[in-house]
Structure 1
Amino acid sequence: MNEAFYLPDRADPERFVSTELTRGPWSPDAQHAGPPSALLGHVIERCEPRPGFQVGRVAVEILGPVPLAPLTAQARLVRPGRSVELIEATLSTDRGPVMRANAWRFKLADPELAIPEHLLPTGTRPGPDQTPAPEPFPSAQAVGFHTGIEYRYITGSFREPGPAVCWIRLKYPVVAGTAPSPLERALAAADSGNGVSAVLDWDRYLFINTDLTVTLHRQPVGEWVCLDAVTHPQPHGIGLAESALFDEKGPLGRSTQTLFLGPR
């Protein structure tokens, strides 16, 4: 039984073995973009970490299908600064890069800023414990990302087209031997926005994202991340999926995905 989405290579700290839990819905040989996005977050947070700093935005570029193969994950600080700094990260196979990410890391205010209460973001969604048992994910694969997460729909479903509100929780660590960080949980969940709010028939159309941008004004608390998601398709074949992100305490931020739309 797989114990995580990725297994670290003891001989090379930058190399990770992809397990079947990373498999996506489009091909049995390709990963869902959620796990490798979370793996990028994993190495970004470990790149020259600084106390009192926090990642506020990650922009992931998906350069092509990510195979179920060993990945080399590297991160480097490219723009140091006293208040904000930029980190670049790359995932590669033996054939070259498959994903890249840029992350802005911010210095946290100490003491905290005296912002009036009425200006702070508010709002909640019904919690994951207030939902019915989830329906099976429509996949022919016995093991994949859909079996590595737990999801609870508040509104909508995988087979009900249109906007949806869905809670997602990782059932396994991103990297074996580590606990998923709040950033890893947010990145893994956010990439499902185009799936949970799909408006096109899964059996007739592709709606594959070429990127994922996640902006967090607050780190998620707890295991669950909620997507209040909507997909905007266009007849010319370009779409957009956007999600408001929540945890059980309230708003976290936003995520967007640019979509390639086409017939299967």
Structure 2
Amino acid sequence: MNAFYIPIGDGRFESTEHTRGPWSPDAQHGGPPSALLGHVIERCEPREGFDVGRVAVEILGPVPLAPLTVEARVTRSGRSVELIEATLSSERGVVMKANAWRIKRSDPPLELDPAVLPSGSRPGPDTARGDAPFPSDQKIGFHTAIEYRFVSGTFIEPGPAVCWIRLRKPIVAGHDPSPLERTLAAADSGNGVSATLDWNRYVFINTDLTVTLHRQPVGEWVCLDAVTYPQPHGIGMAESALFDEQGPLGRSTQTLLVGRR
């Protein structure tokens, strides 16, 4: 099992143990199926000179460790922007869906004053700690198929955190992960790396994931500068500024269901 998913034909994929999440031994982490949706979105009627600028994923129910069917179609086509819809289904029906905006790159590139561009960086993965324990008793899962290194915080240290994440395995067997796949897989961990509540007493499960990119990621590492905002009424939000080793690249948000176990 050298990948998160194995293609089995006709848009169907076998899920491997590497997709397992922290909440149930029978349910997937949100990162791999979000990246799988990104995989098919990028291959849906591809157009030269276009990049995906935003992906919004809705998590309609637990994603089982089972065969999945993934489909994508262009629902709004245009000269400069187009909208793609994708669904991910198990034998129980649709369990995730996504909308993605694909946007035409400017050619020639725009001449911009560097002063108006986003700046800043985070200490790189080479200077970060890679020994933080992950709060799961599962021997194999998403946490064993990624490499994570913390600049600040840890999974079990409450509060904001800065964490670099790199996939150890491809999302789909036989395909190198694209920058979009890497980013979607990592971004779904924002509520985990910046957890503010005890994993043993509370759940803080995201119902969605929205990733907006102002440039395409470069390299294997994605950094989350993440913070979680839980509220007593049980609705929360996690927000992550996204970086690669060249600097800022976008932002992700997650709506959270917060409750006692």
**TM-score past 0.5 threshold:** yes
CA positional deviation for 1:131: 1.5
Runs of 4+ in structure 1 off by over 3 angstroms are: none
Aligned partner (choices 196, 199, 209) of residue 199 of structure 1: 196
Q: CA deviation at 1:135?
A: 2.1
Shift of 1:173: 0.2
Report Cα offsets for 1:11-60 as digits up to 9, x if no partner.
x2300000000000000000000000000000000000000000000000
CA distance in 1, matches of 2:75, 2:192: 33
* C-alpha distance in 1 between matches for 2:154 and 2:40: 33
How many residue pairs were aligned?
Answer: 261
What is aligned with 1:106?
103
Alignment partners' CA distance in 1, 2:175 and 2:52 = 19
Mapping of residues 137-216 of structure 1, within 5 Å: 137-216=134-213
RMSD of equivalent CA atoms: 0.6
Residue of 54, 63, 68 corresponding to 1:66 = 63
* Structure 1 residue 138 displacement after superposition: 1.7
Aligned runs of 1:14-29 on 2, under 5 Å? Answer: 14-29=11-26
Q: Distance in 2 between matches of 1:44 and 1:156?
A: 33
Does the CA contact (< 8 Å) of 2:130 and 2:148 recur in 1?
A: no
Corresponding position of 1:256? 253
After superposition, give the CA deviation of every residue in 1:171-228 in whole Å (9 maximum; x if it has no partner): 0000000000000000000000000000000000000000000000111110000000
- Does residue 132 (structure 1) correspond to residue 129 (structure 2)? The answer is yes
How far does the alpha carbon of each residue in 1:100-122 deviate from its partner, in whole angstroms, 9 at most, with x for none?
A: 00000000000011111100111
Equivalent residue letter for 1:77: V
- What's the TM-score once normalised by structure 1's chain length? 0.98
Q: What are the superposed Cα offsets for residues 116-170 of structure 1, whole Å, 9 maximum, x if unpaired?
A: 1100111000000002332231211000000010000000001110000000000
CA distance, structure 1, for counterparts of residue 238 and residue 129 of structure 2: 25
Single out whichever of 211-220 and 130-139 deviates more from structure 2: 130-139
Alignment partner of 1:132: what SS? Answer: coil
More divergent stretch after superposition (182-191 vs 134-143): 134-143
Counterpart AA for 2:85: E
Unaligned runs of 5+ in 2: none
Matched, 1:85 2:82: yes
- 2:3 corresponds in structure 1 to 4
The reply on whether 1:76 has 2:73 as its aligned counterpart is yes
Could you report, residue by residue, the CA deviation over 1:81-118 in whole angstroms, capped at 9, with x for unpaired residues?
00000000000012200000000000000001111110
- 1:219 matched to 2:235: no
Q: How many percent identity over aligned positions?
A: 76
